[in-house]
Structure 1
Amino acid sequence: MSEAHDVQALSDVDIHVYEAVASQTVETGGAGLGGLIRATGLSEEEVRHGLARLVEYGYVVPQGDGYALGPHTFEVEY
């Protein structure tokens, strides 16, 4: 993450996807697309869009075939 991003600029969908990534990462060490779609109840397109934005901001990072948490300056409860 080369510059700071305001977490308040994230959409509700982005936050929902982030929370799902965080939950699955804590439980299993990573989050796959299928699991994120099931966990969020969102469409694949919505999850992919949220992941793209989170990766762009550096809050989520690609890890193998899935995703993990990147550096962040905020906390979520799940």
Structure 2
Amino acid sequence: MSEGHDVQALSDVDIHVYEAVASQAVGTGGAGFGALVRTSGLAEDELRASLARLVEQGYVVPRGDGYGLGPHTFEVEY
């Protein structure tokens, strides 16, 4: 992640989605889209839009059929 990325600068929805990815990725290395729909409680379109923003900014990376965390300089514990 490049200098200047601040997870606190994300929207509430994007933070919620990031945390959903993180909670699953910590144990399994990735989060599938279906599981993210269930975990986040968001509509699929809203979830896809948030994931696209997070991928574009490098917070989340596509991983196989799902998503994982991008490089980060902070610790994530779940």
* TM-score, structure 1 normalization: 0.84
Deviation at 1:73, TM superposition (A): 3.5
Count of residue pairs the alignment pairs up: 78
Unaligned runs of 5+ in 2: none
Residue identity matched to 1:55: V
Unaligned runs of 5+ in 1: none
Distance 2:37 2:18 in 1: 12
Residue identity matched to 1:62: P
Answer whether contact 1:20 1:36 (CA < 8 A) is retained: yes
Answer whether contact 2:31 2:68 (CA < 8 A) is retained: yes
Distance 2:13 2:75 in 1: 16
- Matched with 1:30 is 30
Deviation at 1:74, TM superposition (A): 4.2
Which deviations, in whole Å up to 9, do the C-alpha atoms of 1:36-58 show, x marking residues without a partner?
Answer: 01001111011111111110110
Residue identity matched to 1:43: A
After alignment, is 52-61 or 7-16 more displaced?
7-16
- Matched with 1:73 is 73
* TM-score, structure 2 normalization: 0.84
Structure 1 residues 16 and 62, CA gap change in structure 2 (3 angstroms) = same
Q: Secondary structure at the residue paired with 1:62?
A: strand
- Matched with 1:17 is 17
